Amino acid sequence: MKKKIIYLIITAVLIFSVIFLLIKKPSNSNTTLEVPKKPIHWHPKLKIIINGEEQFIPPNIGITIGNNIDNHISGMRMSPTHTHESDDTIHLENNKPWLKPETLTLGYFFEVWGKNLNNSCIFDYCNGENGSLTITVNGQSNFEFEKYIMHDKDEIIIEYK
């Protein structure tokens, strides 16, 4: 009788352990990863290819020079998501990313740029008979599109073909 009870307890513990591990299993989706609780300075890379042609990502997206008042520049302002050069590098610089985690998303970068990105369109190119939109992150298909939370050294490729 004792052996039977011990066997039932061990079986129940194993079943609950498996269920717990399945529930807590991390997703391949980075939006489920915790937003950092410390300042970040990350540099994901972004490549956009439309119908086989790589698109130019301009420098200084998200950077504005302040007003010229009485021949004096009042300063420079940077969005937490911006570019400096035209080298495909996005700069994510945020002292408190946990306060506005949306500033880490691919969609926020496109919003700052003033361009369109969602799950079916990039710029003016939308899924349909002329082509379809795909995104890969570090070589893996990604289906989060504008909601994708970028991370340091990500290699993001958005392709419409």
* Domain spans, the chain: 36-160
Q: Is the pTM of this model over 0.85?
A: no
Mean pLDDT of the chain: 85
The fraction of the chain above a pLDDT of 70, given in percent, is: 76
End-to-end CA distance of the chain: 67
Q: Which of 93, 87, 78 is nearest to 150 (CA)?
A: 93
Residues 6+ apart with CB under 8 A from 103: 79, 80, 81, 92, 94, 97
| pLDDT exceeds 70 at position 70 | no
Residue 12's pLDDT is what? 60
CATH of domain 36-160: 2.170.130
Beta-bridge partner residues of 45: 89, 155
Q: What is the CA radius of gyration of the chain?
A: 22
| pLDDT exceeds 60 at position 117 | yes
Per-residue confidence band for 76, with pLDDT thresholds at 50, 70 and 90: confident
Say how far apart CA 151 and CA 155 lie, in whole Å: 9
Predicted confidence (pLDDT) per residue in 3-62, tens digit: 677 666 666 665 655 555 455 443 444 444 578 899 999 999 999 999 999 999 999 999
